[in-house]
Amino acid sequence: MAEKRTDAHPDSLASHQNVALLMRDITKVFPGVVANDKVTFELKVGEVHALLGENGAGKTTLMNILYGLYQADSGEIYLYGKRVRIRSPRDAIRHRIGMVHQHFKLVPRHTVAENVVLGLDGAPFLAPARAVEDEILQLGERYGLKVDPKAYIWQLSAGEQQRVEIIKALVRGADILILDEPTSVLTPQEVEELFKILARMREEGHSVIFITHKLDEVMEVSDRVTVMRRGKVVATLSTADVNKPTLAKMMVGREVVFRLKKVACERGQEALVVEDLWALSDRGLPALKGISFSVCRGEILGIAGVAGNGQKELVEVITGLRRATRGKVFVLGDEVTNENPRRIADKGVAHIPEERLKRGIVPEMSVAENLILKRHHRSPFCHGFFLNLRAVKRFAHHAIEEYAIMTPGPDTPAKLLSGGNIQRLILARELSGEPALVIAAHPTYGLDVGATEQIRQILLEQRRRGAAILLISEDLEELMSLADRIAVIFEGEIMGEVSPEAATLEEIGLMMAGEKRRVRR
Amino acid sequence: MGWESWIIDTLKRALAYGTPLLWGTLGEIYAERAGVVNLGVEGMMILGALSAFAVAQSTGNPWLGILAASVVGGFAALIHAFFSVTLRANQYVSGLALTIFGLGLSGLLGTSWVGISLKNPLPKATIPGLERIPILGEALFRDHSYLTYIGIVLAVVLWFVLYKTRWGIAIRSVGESPSTADAMGIDVFAVQYLCVIFGGILAGVAGGFLSVEYRPAWTEGMTAGMGWIVIALTIFAAWDPLQAVGGVVLFGALYHLAYRLQAWFPPEFLKLMPYAFAILVLAVAGLRKVKRGAPASLGVPYVRGQR
Amino acid sequence: MKRLGPFVFERRLAPTRTAILGYSLLAILAALVVMSFIFWAYGVSPIKAYTVIGRTTLGSRFGLMEILRRTIPLLLCGVGLVIAFRAKFWNIGAEGQLLAGAVAATWVALFSGVSGPVKLPLMFVFGFAAGALWGIIPALLKVKLQVNDVISTLMMNYIMAYFVKWLIYGPWRGPTMRGFAYTDLFPRDAWLPLIRYSKVHWPTLLVGLVAAMLVALILSRTRLGYEIRVVGDSPDAAHYAGISFLGVSLWVMLLSGGLAGLAGVGEVAGIHHRLLEPDHVSLGYGYTAIIVAWLARGSPLAAIITSLLFGLIFAAGDEIKVTLQMPFQITGVFNGLILFFLIGVEVLLYWKVGLVRKGKGWVGKAGS
């Protein structure tokens, strides 16, 4: 790369008085992937600018470069016409850039005020947290960001935590605010709240970059939109001039016909029955408070809800990974409450776990060895004390082919696979035993469109085969298109159950916020 | 001679035996609060003990000995910081290496100092006024090493810094969630380096206390596993400097009480008591579930922008 | 990618076998270089030191036999630690487990009343059991009470050492030993046969080699080995798969402690023929075995090679003491240095190093 020594502003752009930020020809390479390929991005003063793209399109990488978390391999950044170098978040903050990450950068065991004051220039040495409490309350008034400065982060809902993140940026005087997928953890009502806050910020002269992959949000909140695909910018447009289908096509790179073939299925025997289930969270607080439902063979029951309302605990109790303090779980008519996970799995329960990398695979072990996890103690893979390595290998070849797992070979360590292929590996392992019950927690979270489509097809195929499926997801569209029934969970209780054909998003949204309880069968 | 003198005696001995444990534990608490486990305490202490003795004996000034111990302990910790923070090596192995290295080096360099008793050990002090408090005054404020008093004051100061100041918030945040601290412009590596080195300085002083005050002489391997007890106490104290004082006094008292049983048990059994207590203390901590209070990122090297 | 002077570093995800071997040798070499400085600072010419070491260890039959003798306990403890480290169980307690084995063997030899050809096998069985028992306690403490394994295993070393002291100063002190703190000499049927003109008790060596092979088999081909590897690599995945943490931990520490116990049997039945001061029974073999296992990188067969290496270091330590009048602790310094350099080169394993080519930038599409 030719080094440009000039700090002067390029003439062609000098006329654009109202440009807050220009990132030009940004390139960033990670091992195996070009995350940003000569990306140019422009933000005007006082606009909300949507950065639209699929997972892996390079949106977050670009913004992490702007925020100083990564260094670009090449390219330049101009703020208000002046060339800047941003080497660290500290630099970014000094240049009045704030970022709200998708996974909040908060210390759960600290208070709101302690989190706000962390690393804040000019905070007093003694009792720094107390010093910012007033300011937090004032900002809360001004922008509608209500939050108690003395509360601990772990006590707050996701929406409140997000407010803390925004306050953190505002306290540091951020003019440019980056929001990375801010709506993914919010209820529809909280999303409305957020949009109001963004409108207030725009009025006060802030510029906002809004990273998302949801078209509705782009149309609703943004002034302009930049679409990215596979590390490149496809186009930057004024939101008023575009419509959803056009954006969708730009984002995915082809015509999107998102219609899953869902055939009617005969409801069979009850595969899973949950009766008055109670359980505690990791912190020892009640996470499930008397949950009851059942799932039959040949149907998909969707569980909707904002993250952290007991979904994780529900899955863990059913699969034997967490103790139920009260209530019963039946699989195919047999009680399995608080049985050990192996015994439950052996009964024909497949579990596609939420934490794919942490739980779903053993990263250092080979693809073949990962494919027999949970069945490694049974025939044909194990006879007595010894493993049958030939059977393991045979099964691996078969599974890699059937589920189209892209891997150099069965002996490759599982950690080297991409996210989509890791999920295919898990599905191959869990579904090849023809389970009676499939528990799928966020099965398409963070995957690209191709893998998402394939995995949804596989789940429908299982339903057709006669498996009962419990589908936990935060993606309402996914639930609406796959599930036969949707139950909404809020603070460890089922708020009600709806059929996807009859329900509206608003209805479900209200139940997700715990505001309304409706039982309709 | 009733229960009063019994309590006074127990507390007095507990504090004396507990002083090096306290210094070491306070240091380890700071390192671990910043997310770095340092299993090299034993090695840092023994190097501190040797350098303190050598300098105190050569110069005749025990305080210079303590100063030397703190410098040497700090440098030893710097090695651990380099391996575990910069190179992101396994923190357990790096700490073990430091201990093995420290024990070996002190044995190698200490041969010429063996068997000499220090001419000028650290003096003891009595705090005027406070010593007149009945029972407690005599137990806590009379005829203790300066390092005992400083250690207790230090515990209070370190507690205050950890919970009530800017630095404390930064240190705790680095141990809980380094990526958060990084995003807020805290230099994670600098905080970890400083805390580990600070821990080494205190461990060095702890070792120095042994060779210029507790038993004013140099013997090979004289720390005798105290560094490991420090690590147990760090967990028992739930990473809290004030609780560390309590833990250390409790531990010292148990140790002293075991000696009261001399008439009934052979000496070898009394000598193995501290080690059994260390396990016991951790088992109690397990029952109290203090592990839930461990810094969330303890032992995990921080890598920025890991994909 | 990073640039440093004329070098380019590119991240790689899985190190190759050659890289591992090469970098391990590099670490040892680096430790030797630093050791030269220490020799020099001690007033001994490093060249002379290394010549003496080479001549007296590798250069003579006696030296080679001394290496073998030291290798035996290192191999048994090291193979045991390989199992423990594969399950990420931090067994720092091989030293105590070795002593436990020595105690049990002594009991069989002196106090059990057994005699004849079953005696030696019985000593091995009891030694294994005692070491295993001493290993299982920390496993239970870890799983049931979350007691940190590093500390519990380490503390148990001290406890066992004082227990041995109590035995030899107290109830087991030999009446024929004139007040020395030893037990009586073992009867002849409790002596292990030696390779002629050496102190190499070959049956124990054989046991060690067989153990290395068996453990390799267990790890790669059995259900237990599979579960050990899952637990070691990802405890969360193990939990998810319904693998019993308690069961695996108990098995791991039973084998790990038991093998160390066998090493203790070998030392008392092969060399000392009595129980004596703990730091004479073992010169810290249990601690050095940690490095043996770490250098072997989880492979029991590689532990055969690495234990030979450290056998050489121990033999060299003896020579340095006698010939150069330097304390035996020099081996501790060297061991610490090797361990530091080993984890230091670990970082390099994940980087591919190349030279910057002139004029060309570095925007490659890297990796496979």
**What is the DSSP code string of A1-67?**
-PPP---SPPHHHHT-TTEEEEEEEEEEEETTEEEEEEEEEEEETT-EEEEE--TTSSHHHHHHHHT
Q: Which of A101, A105, A128 sits opposite B165 (nearest CB)?
A: A128
At residue B134, the pLDDT reads 79
**By the 8 A CB rule, do A374 and A346 touch?**
no
**By the 8 A CB rule, do C344 and B87 touch?**
yes
**C235 vs C349, residue with greater confidence:** C235
In this predicted structure, the answer to whether residue C302 has a pLDDT above a threshold of 90 is yes
At residue C13, the pLDDT reads 66
Question: Residue A315: is it exposed, middle or buried by C-beta count within 10 angstroms (0-12/13-18/19+)?
Answer: buried
Query: What ranges in C222-329 are assigned the alpha helix state H?
Result: 223-233, 235-240, 245-266, 278-281, 285-295, 300-324
The minimum CA-CA distance between C248 and chain A, rounded to whole Å, is: 14
**Phi and psi angles of residue A2, each rounded to the nearest 5 degrees, phi first:** -75, 130
Q: Which of A90, A118, A168 sits opposite B169 (nearest CB)?
A: A118
Q: Which residues of B touch A109 (CB under 8 A)?
A: 176, 296
Which pLDDT tens digit goes with each residue over A480-493? 889 999 999 988 99
* Whole-number CA gyration radius for chain A: 25
Which pLDDT tens digit goes with each residue over B105-122? 999 999 889 888 888 888
Same-domain pairing of C111 and C257: yes
Is C95 inside a domain boundary? yes
Query: Please, which residues have CB within 8 angstroms of residue B166's CB and are 6 or more apart in sequence?
Result: A117, A123, A124, A125, A128
Handedness of CA A370, A371, A372, A374 (dihedral sign): positive
Is the Cβ pair B225, C169 closer than 8 Å?
Answer: no
CB neighbours of residue B255 within 10 Å: 20
At residue A323, the pLDDT reads 94
**By the 8 A CB rule, do B131 and B115 touch?**
no
Calculate ∠ Cα C243-C144-C227, nearest 5°: 20
> What distance in Å separates the CA atoms of residue C38 and residue C45, rounded to the nearest whole number?
10
> What distance in Å separates the CA atoms of residue A243 and residue A232, rounded to the nearest whole number?
21
Look-up: residue for tokens 């090679």?
C305
| Token couple for C214 | 């068996």
At residue A7, the pLDDT reads 43
Mean per-residue pLDDT of chain B: 90
Interface of C with A (CB under 8 A): 1, 10-14, 221-227, 229-230, 233-234, 236-244, 361-368
- Give which of B15, B35, B14 is closest to B199, Cα–Cα: B35
Is the Cβ pair A109, B186 closer than 8 Å?
Answer: no
What is the identity of the amino acid at C91?
A: N
Is CATH 3.50.50.60 what the domain over A267-348+437-521 is classified as, yes or no? no
Is the Cβ pair A88, B185 closer than 8 Å?
Answer: yes
Averaged pLDDT for residues C274-289? 94
Is C353 inside a domain boundary? yes
ipTM: 0.89
- The three-state secondary structure class of C148 is coil
**By the 8 A CB rule, do B222 and B69 touch?**
no
The minimum CA-CA distance between B273 and chain A, rounded to whole Å, is: 35
- Give which of C287, B232, C223, B307 is closest to A415, Cα–Cα: B307
Is C51 inside a domain boundary? no
Instruction: Give the DSSP H/E element, type plus range, for residue A489.
Output: strand A485-490
Mean per-residue pLDDT of chain A: 87
Chain B partners (3+ C-beta pairs within 8 A): A, C
> What distance in Å separates the CA atoms of residue A228 and residue A172, rounded to the nearest whole number?
29
Query: What ranges in B141-187 are assigned the alpha helix state H?
Result: 146-164, 166-176, 178-183
Is the Cβ pair B283, C141 closer than 8 Å?
Answer: yes
At residue A503, the pLDDT reads 82
> What distance in Å separates the CA atoms of residue A332 and residue A297, rounded to the nearest whole number?
10
DSSP letter, residue B121: P
> What distance in Å separates the CA atoms of residue A354 and residue A423, rounded to the nearest whole number?
10
> What distance in Å separates the CA atoms of residue A270 and residue A500, rounded to the nearest whole number?
21
Considering the domain A1-96+175-189+197-257 in this protein, what is its CATH number? 3.40.50.300
- Give which of A394, A322, A404 is closest to A359, Cα–Cα: A322
Is the Cβ pair C329, B282 closer than 8 Å?
Answer: no
Assign B291 a pLDDT band (cuts: 50, 70, 90). Answer: low
Query: Please, which residues have CB within 8 angstroms of residue C161's CB and are 6 or more apart in sequence?
Result: B272, C95, C96, C99, C278, C279
pLDDT above 90: percentage of residues in chain A: 57
**By the 8 A CB rule, do A339 and A220 touch?**
no
> What distance in Å separates the CA atoms of residue C127 and residue C211, rounded to the nearest whole number?
15
**B81 vs A452, residue with greater confidence:** B81
> What distance in Å separates the CA atoms of residue C50 and residue C61, rounded to the nearest whole number?
18
At residue B146, the pLDDT reads 92
Q: Where in chain A is the domain with CATH 3.40.50.300?
A: 1-96+175-189+197-257, 267-348+437-521
> Does the CB of B59 have a partner CB in chain A at under 8 Å?
no
In this prediction the pTM is: 0.89
Domain that holds residue C10: 1-44+331-368
Query: What ranges in chain B are assigned the alpha helix state H?
Result: 3-33, 41-59, 62-81, 91-109, 136-140, 146-164, 166-176, 178-183, 188-209, 226-236, 241-260, 267-288
**Phi and psi angles of residue A218, each rounded to the nearest 5 degrees, phi first:** -60, -50
| Greatest mean pLDDT among A248-262, A372-386, B249-263, C78-92 | C78-92
The minimum CA-CA distance between B237 and chain A, rounded to whole Å, is: 18
Is the Cβ pair A387, C222 closer than 8 Å?
Answer: yes
At residue A256, the pLDDT reads 52
- Asked if the peptide bond before residue A380 counts as cis, ω within 30 degrees of 0, the response is yes
Q: Which residues of A touch C229 (CB under 8 A)?
A: 362, 364-365, 369
User: What is the number of H-type helices and E-type strands within chain A?
Assistant: 17, 23
Q: Which of A30, A105, A115 sits opposite B307 (nearest CB)?
A: A30
In angstroms, how far is CA C61 from the centroid of its own chain? 24
In this predicted structure, the answer to whether residue A11 has a pLDDT above a threshold of 50 is no
- Strand residue runs (E) in A144-246: 176-180, 207-212, 224-229, 232-238
What secondary structure does DSSP assign to A91-148, as a single string?
Answer: HHHHTTEEEE-SS----TTSBHHHHHHTT-TT--SBSHHHHHHHHHHHHHHHHT----
DSSP letter, residue C272: I
What secondary structure does DSSP assign to C181-227, as a single string?
Answer: S-PPPPPGGGPPP--TTS---HHHHHHHHHHHHHHHHHHHHBHHHHH
Torsion on CA atoms B171, B175, B178, B183, rounded to nearest 10: -30
| Greatest mean pLDDT among A29-33, A302-306, C162-166 | C162-166
Q: Which residues of B touch C154 (CB under 8 A)?
A: 225, 228
Interface of A with C (CB under 8 A): 1, 27, 29, 31-32, 34, 73-74, 319-321, 340-345, 351, 353, 355, 358-365, 369, 373-374, 376-377, 382, 385-387, 389, 408, 413, 415-416
> What distance in Å separates the CA atoms of residue A391 and residue A315, rounded to the nearest whole number?
31
Looking at the structure of chain C, the number of domains it has is: 2
Is the Cβ pair C230, A373 closer than 8 Å?
Answer: yes
In this predicted structure, the answer to whether residue C44 has a pLDDT above a threshold of 50 is yes
Averaged pLDDT for residues C294-310? 94
> What distance in Å separates the CA atoms of residue C243 and residue A373, rounded to the nearest whole number?
10
Is the Cβ pair A385, C224 closer than 8 Å?
Answer: yes
> What distance in Å separates the CA atoms of residue A38 and residue A28, rounded to the nearest whole number?
8
> What distance in Å separates the CA atoms of residue A102 and residue A99, rounded to the nearest whole number?
9
Assign C5 a pLDDT band (cuts: 50, 70, 90). Answer: low
Is the Cβ pair A119, B185 closer than 8 Å?
Answer: yes
Averaged pLDDT for residues B144-149? 92
Is B175 inside a domain boundary? yes
Assign C215 a pLDDT band (cuts: 50, 70, 90). Answer: very high
C-alpha distance from residue A28 to each of A31, A222, B233 (Å): 10, 26, 47
Is C305 inside a domain boundary? no
- The three-state secondary structure class of B134 is coil
> What distance in Å separates the CA atoms of residue A59 and residue A225, rounded to the nearest whole number?
12
Largest CA distance in chain B: 69
Is the Cβ pair A373, C224 closer than 8 Å?
Answer: no
Q: Which residues of A touch C224 (CB under 8 A)?
A: 385
Same-domain pairing of C39 and C81: no
Averaged pLDDT for residues C197-211? 95
Domain that holds residue B234: 3-293
Looking at the structure of chain B, the number of domains it has is: 1
**By the 8 A CB rule, do B31 and B212 touch?**
no
Averaged pLDDT for residues A391-401? 94
CB neighbours of residue A18 within 10 Å: 10
Q: Please state the length of chain C.
A: 368
Assign A55 a pLDDT band (cuts: 50, 70, 90). Answer: confident
Averaged pLDDT for residues C322-335? 89
Question: Residue A2: is it exposed, middle or buried by C-beta count within 10 angstroms (0-12/13-18/19+)?
Answer: exposed
CATH code where residue B222 lies: 1.10.3470
Same-domain pairing of C80 and C39: no
Same-domain pairing of C268 and C147: yes
User: What is the number of alpha carbons within 13 Å of residue A193 lying toward its C-beta?
Assistant: 17
